[in-house]
């Protein structure tokens, strides 16, 4: 699939998702205004950027998905799925007899809002130029904005816990198979078994899993190295989840602030 290049060597991709037609202009007008934003983005003086065409954007979506169905956090998540580092979203509303369009530019990796602009016009025809100016302003803001730190999204479950060399297996210990309990660190074994159980609990949080492994890592035993590695991995996951939650909350706050300005 080809991309429309903005610079000679495209390293980042920009997706312009369908503007939400809350003004009820009709599908044809809403699509035209979205394409207008996409075409204007081609003129951004941003190095190493490629704009995804509407046709390619539709082709990249999961089967059965529609651009117009993406709302709220789904917009940024959609950009991640199609491999776009940047995404422009927005909506058109009626206000005091006229039209207003709000455009937002996000970094998809962190859900960080990089810029937001509002266009105002008396009718759809006049909205054309206003929307072009708002799109230009997003591009100018991107040139001056350093990307924020990316949020690391790890899978819900880490790779299986590796076997611990030289340490008894909990199942064998419970059945006393080939083991002399006098030679077993029973407390460490119990902590190890508990950590494995917490790991498998579907409703356990990443922080709870990290805490279970930290409890084991705090005690010198044959399990310590594995416990430290596992605790560190789940701690990173917990931090990523908190960062993502914070980013979503900030995005909601900024969207609400946009609407508050529009409603004044």
Q: What is the pLDDT along the chain (264 residues), one digit of tens a residue?
A: 334 444 334 468 898 988 888 888 888 988 999 999 999 998 888 888 888 888 777 776 656 556 555 555 566 777 777 778 899 999 999 887 889 999 999 888 777 888 899 999 888 788 899 999 999 999 888 876 544 443 333 344 566 777 666 665 655 444 444 445 555 677 888 888 899 899 888 788 889 999 999 999 998 888 888 889 889 988 888 887 787 677 667 766 765 665 566 555
pLDDT given at position 205: 87
- CB count, 10 Å around CB of 237? 22
- CB count, 10 Å around CB of 27? 10
Domain count across the chain: 2
CATH number at 115 reads 3.40.50.10070
Residue (of 263, 251, 246) closest to 75 by Cα position: 251
Q: Do residues 15 and 142 share a domain? A: yes
The answer to pTM > 0.85 is: no
pLDDT given at position 166: 60
Q: Do residues 72 and 133 share a domain? A: yes
Q: Do residues 199 and 137 share a domain? A: no
Q: Do residues 142 and 167 share a domain? A: no
What distance in Å separates the CA atoms of residue 80 and residue 15, rounded to the nearest whole number?
10
Full domain range(s) for residue 132: 4-150
**Last residue of some domain: 96, 131, 150?**
150
Q: Do residues 141 and 166 share a domain? A: no
The crossing angle, in degrees rounded to 10, of helices 206-217 and 224-263 is 150
Could you read off the pLDDT of 38-54 as tens digits, one per residue? 999 988 888 888 888 88
Q: Do residues 8 and 130 share a domain? A: yes
Q: Do residues 146 and 160 share a domain? A: no
Residue with token string 């931090």:
239
């Amino acid at each position: 699939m080809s991309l429309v290049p903005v610079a000679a060597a495209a390293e980042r991709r920009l997706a312009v998702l369908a503007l939400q037609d809350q003004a009820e202009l009709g599908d044809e007008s809403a699509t035209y205004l979205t394409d207008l934003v996409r075409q204007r983005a081609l003129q951004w003086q941003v190095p190493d950027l490629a704009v995804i065409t509407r046709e390619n954007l539709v082709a990249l979506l999961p089967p059965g998905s529609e651009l117009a169905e993406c709302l709220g956090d789904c917009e940024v998540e959609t950009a991640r799925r199609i491999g776009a580092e940047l995404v422009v979203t927005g909506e058109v509303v009626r206000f005091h007899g006229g039209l207003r369009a709000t455009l937002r530019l996000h970094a998809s990796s962190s859900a960080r809002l990089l810029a937001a602009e509002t266009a105002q016009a008396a009718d759809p025809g006049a909205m054309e130029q206003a929307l072009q100016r708002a799109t230009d302003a997003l591009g100018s803001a991107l040139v001056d904005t350093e990307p924020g730190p990316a949020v690391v999204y790890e899978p819900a479950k880490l790779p299986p816990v590796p076997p611990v060399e030289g340490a008894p297996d909990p199942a064998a210990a419970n059945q006393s198979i080939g083991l002399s309990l006098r030679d077993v660190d029973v407390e460490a074994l119990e902590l190890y078994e508990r950590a494995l159980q917490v790991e498998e609990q579907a409703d356990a949080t990443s922080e709870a899993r990290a805490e279970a492994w930290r409890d084991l890592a705090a005690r010198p035993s044959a399990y310590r190295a594995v416990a430290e590695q596992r605790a560190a991995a789940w701690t990173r996951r917990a931090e990523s989840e908190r960062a993502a939650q914070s980013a979503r909350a900030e995005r909601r706050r900024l969207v609400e602030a946009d609407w508050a300005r529009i409603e004044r």
